[in-house]
A and B are shown apart, each in its own frame.
Chain A
Amino acid sequence: MNPNRPLQRYGGPALLLLFAAASLYLVTAVYAAGQTLLASIVLLIVALALWIYSSARTYAFRYLFPGIAAALAFVVFPMLYTMDIGFTNYSSKNLLDFPRATQYFLDETSRAEGATYAFTVHPDGRQYRLRFEQADSAKAYLSEPLALAKETPLTIKPEPAENVKIALADPVPLKELIALQPRLKALSVEMPDGHLRMTGLREFAPVQPLYEKQPDGALKNRETGALIKPNFKTGFYETAAGERLQPGFQVGIGLENYKRVFTDPKFSQPFARIFGWTVGFAALSMFLTAALGMLLAVLFNWDSLRFKTAYRTLLFLPYAVPGFISILVFKGLFNNNFGEINLILDALFGIKPAWFSDPLLAKSMLLIVNTWLGYPYMMLVCMGLLKSIPADLYEASAVAGAGPLTNFFRITLPLLIKPLTPLLIACFAFNFNNFVLISLLTAGHPDFLDTTAPAGTTDLLVSYTYRIAFQDSGQNYGLAASISTVIFVMVAVISLVQMRFTRIAEEEKR
């Protein structure tokens, strides 16, 4: 039925072979760049893909693989990796892995014995030639034309100047020389009497590596003869006296981060307060949005009210506008000095509340903004749920002479709350991790005044982790990851509770 049969028959396998070849190249490139972990992960994914797309038994997985692989690689793996980082000292001080930190020390150089050379840079077409001249003997050397386009390490071997018969242009001015400096620093010059590196704006001088590797892994300083040894408990090279040398390297430190979070007062104290505010914020946000949303839904369910569609459309707006824009709009409106809210309050009551510097006011502001952002969703949900309450219940209660409040608390609320509970818990979980609101509105400020580590009175646990990891001094990824792991556990507990209530709500329906 298909005219181009050969394409169908051989197209698939050919494509698979092409894919295999391309990915093998990829894996090799990653491995050659020293990223062994990344290379093995890619290799695993590629092998799995090849098996799934070549075996007939795994047909269903051909449809699943791309989606599941993406979810595993960019959702599940980052979570597991976060937990893993929580057990290490990964931070801006311990950024590199051990081989790279060692290489850093081995690359350090010191001034060696030997003559220095003055140098000048001469343009040669679009390229440059370097001229070296030894001060005492007046021996001169000239390099090949060099592009000097990138800061890649390069070894050059200049020839004696008398062997090169060309006319040199005038040397480049100092300004251009300074611009070229980073590229010149990457040059390593081989002279008959030693290796030269750039040591000043006008001179190259012989250098030697500062450290020499010893068989036991220690490094020996050639100038002083002192030994430095890697300490795999602290993640630093240390001198005999125990002094730590930068840069450090990543090592596993077991439960050290968790110990700090829960027992070191420097971190445990703000952690406890921030946890308290996180729970309070999530609970209050849930309550306020649900209360307002439910009230509106009940009002819109009331037959005597006119213009319902108009109200509903306008009150739905906060839900439709992107959150990051509304939050920033509020940030401007609440500004202490120029914000329109304070201008109005000042004109009406003569007060100018300090929304961003008083902790209590900052918290109220967050709740006001979050209620504004969140009630339309609750309103929509409650309106849907109200439709399923049979009208004859209200008719019966009207016959019994019940007022609207009795109706609400005796009929509407009890019937709403069961199906609403899973959604309320989801709302709680969402606000528990409402990073965007905090980050854009207050960024956690105002800070606690009595804690040593920076922590904010309006910080949620997530924004606190973000601060530890990406802001303030330290950039302590390990500590941040360990707190993230603690939050994972809390979210898991909340999710379990939610699933229980979802099941209950569904069983009720049947």
Chain B
Amino acid sequence: MAIVVDKSHRWRVVAAHAFLIALTLAVLFPFLMILSISLRPGNFSTGSIIPETISWEHWRFALGLPYQAPDGRLVTPDLPVLRWLWNSVKVAAMSAVIAIALSTTAAYAFARMKFVGKKAALTGLMLMQMFPAVLALVALYAIFDRIGSVFPSFGIDSHAALLLAYSGGIALHVWTIKGYYETIPVEIEEAAKVDGATPWQAFRLVLLPMALPILMVVFLLAFINAIIEYPVASVLLHQQDQLTLAVGSKMFLYEQKYLWGDFAASAILSGLPITLVFVLAQKWMVSGLTAGGIKG
């Protein structure tokens, strides 16, 4: 655009590149370091970014395979990383399904029906999500402790308790889906109703298939939210086998038991798929939301 290039302009470009390269290196440093550490032998080893000797012991640890320690012993990993990853994926997938089921129906009523207190309910939902669950941890613990004394499978240390606790956080999803429904012309459903469809059939067979892109987005968002959730899971889950990844991961870095290398391998193993899902969700979100567009 600017045709006349003055002297200061060129070195400004150079300075900008220098700054961006330095920043990129600083941002990437942890990622490169963790990859290098996961391949170094031992949990306290130091060295250059490219390890001199490559050892797969930490990766074997992360995968739950026994490995040979430097002193020749055969060590069986004592932290069930894959189990935690499975727990996380299981809880996150189920919680995303619940979130979809609860929020698509509620959003349908908000977008297409008239009823008393609609505006108040919508505002209430908006207000609700401003208060994070971390403020109600004491009550959540007390509630599930009580439930557990009657139904142990829904009490502390059960994944069902975690699913219930997550099921309430649908406010944002309801708003997002409602916004998308409102971009779909109501005439299509009305035509179906003229043909004799009940409101449920119009919703289930006409509206939902058209809303598929936003459902995918919401599913992935709910999935990621659940998989990275830490506070509630840390209060509700205690037994090592029941932990989710977010809670279990911190057991690597205790002062008394410092499993730095093992953590590095487990972090890559579990972080990579989650990161890929997130990037995917971002891509879909951009296309899904621009196709529908959220309106407040």
Contacts and interface: CB of A to CB of B under 8 A. Distances in A.
Interface string A284-325: 000000000000100100111101000100110110111111
A75 B109 contact: no
Contacts of A328: 249-250, 252-253, 263, 267
B230 A470 contact: no
Interface in B126-154: 127-128, 130-143, 146-147, 149-150
A324 B142 CA distance: 25
A315 B135 contact: no
Given A60-B115, A299-B16, A317 B270 contact: no
B128 A75 contact: yes
Contact of B138 (A326, A429, A484, A491): A484
A157 B127 CA distance: 62
B76 interface: no
A85 interface: yes
B271 interface: yes
Contacts of A488: 131, 135
Given A38-B147, A75-B131, 15 more contacts: A1-B196, A29-B150, A60-B115, A70-B167, A78-B133, A78-B139, A82-B139, A299-B19, A304-B2, A321-B275, A436-B230, A439-B231, A469-B137, A484-B138, A498-B130
Interface of B: 1-2, 9, 12-13, 16-17, 19-20, 23-24, 27-28, 30-31, 33-34, 37, 44, 46, 98, 101-103, 105-106, 108-110, 113-115, 121, 125, 127-128, 130-143, 146-147, 149-150, 164-171, 174, 196, 199, 203, 227-228, 230-231, 234-235, 245-246, 249-250, 252-253, 258, 260, 263-264, 267, 270-271, 274-275, 278-279, 282
B167 A74 contact: yes
Contacts of A404: 12
Given A328-B250, A484-B135, A315 B260 contact: no
A40 to B, nearest CB: 12
Contacts of B138: 82, 85, 465, 469, 477, 480-481, 484
B24 A315 contact: yes
Contacts of A59: 113, 199
Q: How large is the interface on A (under 10, 10 to 19, 20 to 34, 35 or more residues)?
A: 35 or more
Contacts of B132: 433, 435, 491
Contacts of B31: 317, 321
Nearest to B281: A320
Interface in A310-364: 311, 314-315, 317-318, 320-326, 328-333, 335, 338, 340, 343
A199 to B, nearest CB: 29
A94 to B, nearest CB: 13
Interface in A72-87: 72-79, 81-82, 85
22 contacts: A35-B150, A60-B113, A60-B115, A64-B105, A64-B106, A64-B115, A70-B102, A70-B167, A71-B128, A74-B140, A78-B139, A299-B16, A317-B28, A328-B253, A329-B33, A340-B46, A433-B135, A439-B234, A470-B137, A481-B138, A487-B135, A488-B131
A68 interface: yes
A462 B135 CA distance: 7
A-B CB proximity, top 9 nearest: A74-B168, A67-B106, A78-B136, A63-B109, A81-B139, A75-B168, A67-B102, A60-B115, A60-B113
A30 interface: yes
A61 interface: yes
Contact of B30 (A64, A330, A469): A330
Contacts of A61: 109, 115
B271 to A, nearest CB: 4
Nearest to B227: A322
A60 B103 CA distance: 14
A440 interface: yes
A79 B9 contact: no
A398 B24 contact: no
A435 B46 contact: no
Interface in A16-70: 29-30, 33, 35, 37-38, 59-61, 63-64, 66-68, 70
A462 B170 CA distance: 23
A71 B235 contact: no
A326 B260 CA distance: 14
Contacts of A38: 146-147, 150
A78 B267 CA distance: 33
A441 to B, nearest CB: 10
A181 interface: no
A307 B61 CA distance: 39
A204 interface: no
B131 A491 contact: yes
B115 to A, nearest CB: 4
Contacts of B234: 439
Nearest to B13: A304
Given A64-B121, A320-B278, A324-B230, A78 B140 contact: yes
Contact of A63 (B19, B113, B164): B113
Contacts of B252: 328
Contact of A326 (B30, B33, B171): B30
A90 interface: yes
Given A314-B27, A338-B260, A404-B12, A322 B106 contact: no
A466 interface: yes
A61 B9 CA distance: 63
B145 to A, nearest CB: 10
Contacts of B275: 320-322
Contact of B13 (A305, A323, A324, A340): A305
B228 A63 contact: no
